[in-house]
Each structure stands twice: as C-alpha cells, then as structure tokens.
Structure 1
Amino acid sequence: MGHTMKWGTLPPKRPYLWLSQLLVLAGLFHFCSGIIPKSVTKRVKEAVVLSCDYNTSTEELTSLRIYWQKDSEMVLAVLLGKVQVWPKYENRTITDITNNPCIVILALRLSDSGTYTCVIQKPETGTYKVEHLTKVRLMIRADFPVPTINDLGNPFPNIRRVICSTSGGFPKPHLSWLENGEELNATNTTLSQDPETELFTISSELDFNMTSNHSFLCLVKYGDLTVSQTFQWKTPKPTPSANQHLPWTITITVSACGIAVIIAVTVTCLTCRNAARWRQRRRNEENMVIERYSLST
C-alpha cells in the first residue's frame, strides 16, 4: 500500500490527548447531526463494510486523520497511517485506507446497531480542519429460522403431544398454536435469552386428541415479521382384532369340514357299491362252476 499500518493496538496512555480528541469528535457529532445517514442492513454474525465515501491518494493518507465512531463511542482511528482499534471492536474490526477509506466489522452483534460517523481531518496552517463527514446507519437483523415440530409421544391414552421450537432471533418472540384460525391453549411455553448474544429461544408444547384429524399451525411473531410451520395429524385406520377374524375362521373351518364329510361319504358309498358288485359277480361265477360240475357228474 506504500504506508505502514498497525492492527489492533490500543490507544496510547495519553488521557489529555484522547480527551481532546473525544471533545473534538463530540463537537463534530453535534455539527453533523443534521446529515441524513445512509442505511445498511445486515444479519447477526455477518460482516459489513462501511465506507467513508472519500477518495484520496496514498501520499495524502500519511497526513490525514480518520476517525470512526458509533453514536457517542469510538470505534477506530487512523493517525499518520497507524490504526488504533477500541477494545469493544478489537480483533473483529479492520480498515482499508486505500483510495476510499472504509472499515470492515466481522461477526456482527445486535449491539453493533447504530449510526456510524466517519470524520476525515486534513492539516492546514499548523492545525487540522474537518475535510469530510459521512454517516451510515447500521441495522442488525436476527431472523428466526422456520420452527421445527417434533412428536413427544402419548402422555395419556388417546392424547398426543408435540413441541414447536425455534432459536437465534431477535426481538422478543411470541409463539401461538392455531387450528382453523383459532388460537389453542398450549401445554408448556418456554422463552430464554442468551446474555451474550441477546438472541432468543422459544418452544411450546401442545396436546391434542388422536381420535380425529387435525391441522395445526405453529406461528412465531417477532417485531413485524413471522415464521411458521404446519403439523398434520390423520387418525390411523383401526387394525382388525382376533375376535373380528373369528366368524370368518369358523365359517371357513365348518365349510371345509362339511366338504370333507361329503367327500368321505361319497367315497365310502362308491367303495361299498363296487364291493357289493364284486361279491355278486363272485357268487355268480361260483354258482356257474357248481352247475357245470353237477352236469358233468
């Protein structure tokens, strides 16, 4: 870049110097309070680039003073090419002062929301005067993901329990269960907030009767936004019991036995008839033999 930069260094221990600079910035903040800032919207954990909208050269940078502040607190300063980052933004804020000075804030938090002011001072006759002012309003969004609905089983006979949950959003959410446009009574609703990220987690349980069909809507509202998930329940078809199969079993069994008896009787009758015919034929043959023997004698 043609200039040296020092990253992440803390301000030097010169209270009077930094006090004077803060007083100057406070005055500048008041001076530029009438400027309408640009708006940038980002989500939590994303990165944002805030530009000073000031074109400069590498040679000029060595003589400029560049200050970044959010509302009334300091963020970053570039003095004679050296970068100084304040503790709240340390290790996640970098700057690029090539041509158009800007800062990059990584891993955005909800607390990063606010109006950022870039002040560029230029040396003139032994002092510094304000050369350029820029304001950027940064808005951080934390959208809730689509809720998930899980089955918790049967706490009571013919009663089913489900739970709807979502996390990682802001502002404070409200969860409701709806069926046919009417709000239902939830069994247990819990809401918690992470003290570090300020993001919310919400969950709610619902009990319903399993003997009829249902279509539930889990609706989560946060600010002017909503996310939702639908849960469908269809009554399972009853499975035939052993007693329901009994009449058919008896009918089939009786029919089979009847057919077997008929077949057995038929076979027996035919067998007896054939046996009788065979005995009669046998007797006739014996009589004929006796008659022939008598005649010959």
Structure 2
Amino acid sequence: MDHTLKWGIPSKRPYLKLFQLLVLAGLFYFCSGVIQVTKTVKEAAMLSCDYNISTEELKRVRIYWQKDNEMVLAVMSGKVKVWPRYENRTITDVTSNLCIVILALRLSDNGTYTCVIQKPEKGSYKLKHRTSVKLMVRADFPVPSITDLGNPSPNNRRIICSTSGGFPKPHLSWLENGEELNSTNTTLSQDPETELYTISSELDFNMTSNHSFVCLVKYGGLTVSQTFNWQKSAKPAPSANQLLLWAIIIPVSACGISVIIAVTLTCLSCRHAARWRERTRNKESMEMERISPST
C-alpha cells in the first residue's frame, strides 16, 4: 500500500499541513532577502548591503541606499553623497559589506531600506545586486516614578505617577487589588520633533487604611509598572497648623519658665539679704545695750 502523502489529497493529519505551511513561509522569508534589525530610539543601527567589492572596483560601481521611495545615501565614482534628512548622522563603511550606519535613531527612521548596486556593462549600468533591510525603531517607556504630593485635605493623601520618552501612545491606569481606580489630572503630551510621549496621573486616597497601588502604563503590546505601598500611622500625624502652634508654644513656655525662675531667685535673694540685715541690726542693738550700763 502506498502511504506517500500527496499535495492534492487532503491530509488526515492537520498538524502536518500546518508544518508544511510554516516551512513554506520560512523559505519565502529567507529567499526574499529581507533582514530585520531592531533598535531603540537614540541608538545606532548598522544596515548591511551584504556585498563586498575591492577598492578599485568601488570607483566604477554605483551604490544606492534608499528607504521606500526616499534616497538616503549614494556612492558614485568613489564619492559619497548623503541626503539632507540623514546628513550628519549617517556614515558608510565600504570595507564591510558596503553597510551604512544611522546614528541617533528617530521613530521616523522606521521602514525598509534597500541597497542597490549597479555595474557598468556595454556603456550602461546594470543591476548586479539588491538587498533589503527592515529597520524597526522602538521607544520603550522607562519604569514610572511615583511621587508623594502631600495632603490636599485632612486624612487624604495625593500621589502622582509619571513616565516619558516612549512610543506609541500610552494609557495610564491606577490599580488596587486588580481593580481600576478613578484618577485625577491625567495629562498626555507628545514632542512634535521626536514624536515621543509623556504621561502623568494623580491619585487621592484615604490615609486611615493600608493601601498597595499599582501604576500601570500600556503602550502597544508592552507594559511598565510601579507599585506604591502605604501603611497607616498608629497615631494621626499632626497637621501643619498643629506643628506651627507647638512651634510657638514651646519657646513661649520656655521663656515664661525662665522669667518665673529668675523672679523667684531674685525674691529669695532679696529675702535672704533682708534677714541678714535684720540679724545684723539686732546684733548691733544687743551690743549697744550691753555697753550702755557700763558706760
């Protein structure tokens, strides 16, 4: 019996057909010559033309780098020309697969770059090599920071969560025990030059109980988060007015006590001096009385 699997006959093993489709997709991607490079904003990306030529041959060939329908760089007669959008941040290395290096990557650099090499043949330039590189520029948000803003009202606390420098457009939410909370003053802005986003949000909560809040930022298929824990105090924290009152009472009390002590010591000293003077007078009187009869 022939057990050979034929392409025209439906297979009773669907996983085999799925495997065949995956193999075909992989072969198609490999044969298409598209290489993928993933970098983050402000980094440098090296894109290879995957073609080596000698220094002498470099003077005769033409090398073009373009992104979609936009020119990036060209090498003709050994001279390099860079288009304005990539000027001062794009260099070429003809000794290493005719690659180019794009510095200080921007989100707008996302796209497919194509390297084309033409060689002279019978009075005209003919295509000799062509390859494509897909550049993906990411902008990851850093872990959010949570700052304590103090007490907007008695028994209430306010905190703010913020992060910046990411893309695409983010969404910020506050969570406690898996449930989303109502936030206040949520702001979102985008830099017109870099296209990067900044987001922040405030949250008010009651200080009379323990809390564990999660600030969650979602952008694209990625997330970053930060946790804020609050432990209620055994005794209520004094308010600013109470602290000010104690700051006045303590010095005044200290001054009052000092005055009382000084007055008391002065009175005791005066009383002691008066007694001493009285004893002295009595003693002198007794002496005078003792001397008078004899006289």
Q: Match for residue 207 of structure 1?
A: 204
Q: Give yes or no for the alignment of 1:110 onto 2:107.
A: yes
The Cα offsets for residues 87-125 of structure 1, whole Å up to 9 and x where unpaired, read as 000010111112521111000000000000000001111
1:234–1:134 CA distance, 2 compared to 1 (3 A): same
Distance in 2, matches of 1:163 and 1:73, equals 43
**For residue 125 of structure 1, what is the amino acid of its counterpart?**
K
Task: Give the paired residue count.
Answer: 208
Distance in 1, matches of 2:45 and 2:109, equals 11
**For residue 113 of structure 1, what is the amino acid of its counterpart?**
N
User: TM-score when scaled to structure 2?
Assistant: 0.69
SS of the counterpart of 1:185? coil
Distance in 1, matches of 2:186 and 2:42, equals 27
**1:239 Cα deviation (Å)?**
6.7
**1:35 Cα deviation (Å)?**
3.3
| Equivalent residues of 2:33, 2:131 under 8 A apart | no
Q: Match for residue 238 of structure 1?
A: 235
SS of the counterpart of 1:59? helix
**1:37 Cα deviation (Å)?**
1.2
Distance in 2, matches of 1:170 and 1:187, equals 23
1:239–1:138 CA distance, 2 compared to 1 (3 A): closer
Aligned ranges for residues 69-218 of structure 1 at < 5 Å?
69-218=66-215
- Aligned with 1:52 (options 49, 52, 59): 49
| Equivalent residues of 2:66, 2:113 under 8 A apart | yes
| Equivalent residues of 2:146, 2:160 under 8 A apart | yes
User: TM-score when scaled to structure 1?
Assistant: 0.68
1:69–1:157 CA distance, 2 compared to 1 (3 A): same
| Equivalent residues of 1:58, 1:99 under 8 A apart | no
**1:36 Cα deviation (Å)?**
4.6
1:147–1:140 CA distance, 2 compared to 1 (3 A): same
CA RMSD of aligned residues (A): 1.5
Unpaired runs of 5+ residues, structure 1, are 1-33, 242-297
The Cα offsets for residues 116-142 of structure 1, whole Å up to 9 and x where unpaired, read as 000000111111100100100000000
Q: Match for residue 292 of structure 1?
A: none
- Aligned with 1:41 (options 38, 42, 52): 38
Q: Match for residue 58 of structure 2?
A: 61
**1:240 Cα deviation (Å)?**
11
Runs of 4+ in 1 over 4 A off after TM superposition: none
Identity of aligned residues (%): 77
